[in-house]
């Protein structure tokens, strides 16, 4: 199965309007002409439409860093799927470990967000990952399975065409401690096998599974060479145009 690589930059809570426009412009330039892969940026909500504007006419996709399940209403602090679309976005990151850990988003809320994104036609970049404690206690696979079953509960095989899974071991995020290519591949293969059980083989074969956690210019090539790693979700290195350009140009 030929899965189109997806290189995604999660800017987290970084960039002023000016910084965002500048960074987006540089990434737009260095991603021009990359016909065999998708590039995606997830800037803060405050600059979604500016970044979309700067990248108009380019192939770069825009995502929000989270999304609500309702279209509008009394949900202070939230962003709706249609707001994302109207700002020029076509995807949303959901269930990032920072949302789970710092803001205590639980499985039920994450599942509602996944459905919200899919209902309104956004691509859902659904994140999962174990903590160091869970890995050391040999709970990695059990934990990932429960996150996947809960987060994707009620999602149909057809809707899975708009889902991307991002495996981000919490211990590798922002720590400079990347999972080895073997560790990442082992988990990605496990996720794909589980998806085949939950949906069907064809779906599991076509879903893109991204790795995230200290992806850098010097480790992206070996990660991307793994058979079940279909892309990267990049934090820190996505804030530096030169680094991110190198990452999206992985060989
Ligand atoms: P770092 O690349 O900074 O480790 O962050 C990964 C991440 O959380 C992307 O969503």
CATH placement of domain 6-225: 3.20.20.70
For 6-43, what is each residue's pLDDT tens digit? Answer: 999 999 999 999 999 999 999 999 999 999 999 999 99
Neighbours of 112 (CB within 10 A): 16
Mean predicted confidence (pLDDT) in 107-113: 98
pLDDT, tens digit (0-9, with 9 covering 90-100), for 126-143: 999 999 999 999 999 999
CA atoms within a 13 Å half-sphere pointing along the CA-CB vector of 16? 2
- Domain chopping of the chain, boundaries: 6-225
Mean pLDDT of 77-95: 98
Ligand 1 pocket, 214 CB below 6 A? yes
Torsion from C-alpha of 245, 7, 181, 104, nearest 10 degrees = 120
pLDDT for the residue 178:
86
Provide the pLDDT confidence category of residue 193 given band limits of 50, 70 and 90: very high
Residues 6+ apart with CB under 8 A from 40: 6, 7, 8, 9, 60, 61, 62, 63, 91
Instruction: Give the ligand 1 atom nearest the CA of 212.
Output: 6
Q: What is the pLDDT of residue 177?
A: 85
d(CA 184, CA 214): 12
Q: What is the Å distance from ligand 1's center to 2 Cα?
A: 26
Residue 107: the pLDDT is 97
Nearest-atom number in ligand 1 for the CA of 175 is: 4
Q: What is the pLDDT of residues 159-180, one digit of tens each?
A: 999 999 999 999 999 888 888 9
E runs forming strands in the chain = 6-10, 38-42, 61-64, 91-94, 123-128, 163-167, 208-212, 231-234
pLDDT of res. 176: 84
Q: How far apart are CA 90 and CA 76, in angstroms?
A: 22
Whole-model pTM over 0.95: yes
Q: State the pLDDT at residue 45.
A: 98
Q: Do residues 228 and 192 touch, judged by C-beta distance below 8 A? A: yes
Residue 71: the pLDDT is: 97
């Amino acid at each position: 199965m030929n899965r189109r690589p997806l290189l995604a930059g999660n800017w987290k809570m970084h960039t002023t309007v000016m910084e965002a426009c500048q960074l987006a412009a540089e990434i737009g330039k260095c991603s021009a002409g990359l016909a065999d892969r998708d590039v995606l940026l997830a800037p803060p909500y405050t600059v979604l439409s500016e970044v979309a504007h700067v990248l108009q006419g380019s192939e770069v996709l825009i995502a929000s860093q989270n999304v609500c399940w309702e279209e509008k209403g009394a949900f202070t602090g939230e962003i709706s799927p249609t707001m994302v679309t109207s700002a020029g976005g076509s995807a949303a990151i959901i269930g990032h470990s920072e949302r789970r850990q710092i803001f205590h988003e639980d499985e039920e809320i994450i599942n509602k967000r996944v459905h919200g994104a899919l209902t309104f036609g956004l691509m859902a970049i659904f994140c999962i990952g174990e903590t160091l404690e869970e890995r050391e206690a040999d709970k990695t696979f059990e934990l990932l399975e429960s996150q996947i079953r809960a987060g994707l509960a009620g999602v149909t095989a057809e809707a899975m065409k708009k889902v991307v899974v991002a495996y981000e071991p919490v211990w590798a995020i922002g720590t400079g401690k990347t999972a080895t290519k073997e560790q990442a591949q082992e988990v990605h293969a496990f996720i794909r096998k589980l998806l085949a059980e939950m949906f069907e083989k064809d779906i599991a074969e076509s879903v893109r599974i991204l790795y995230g956690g200290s992806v850098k210019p010097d480790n992206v090539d070996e990660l991307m060479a793994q058979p079940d790693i279909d892309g990267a979700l990049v934090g820190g290195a996505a804030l530096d145009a030169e680094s991110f350009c190198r990452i999206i140009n992985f060989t």
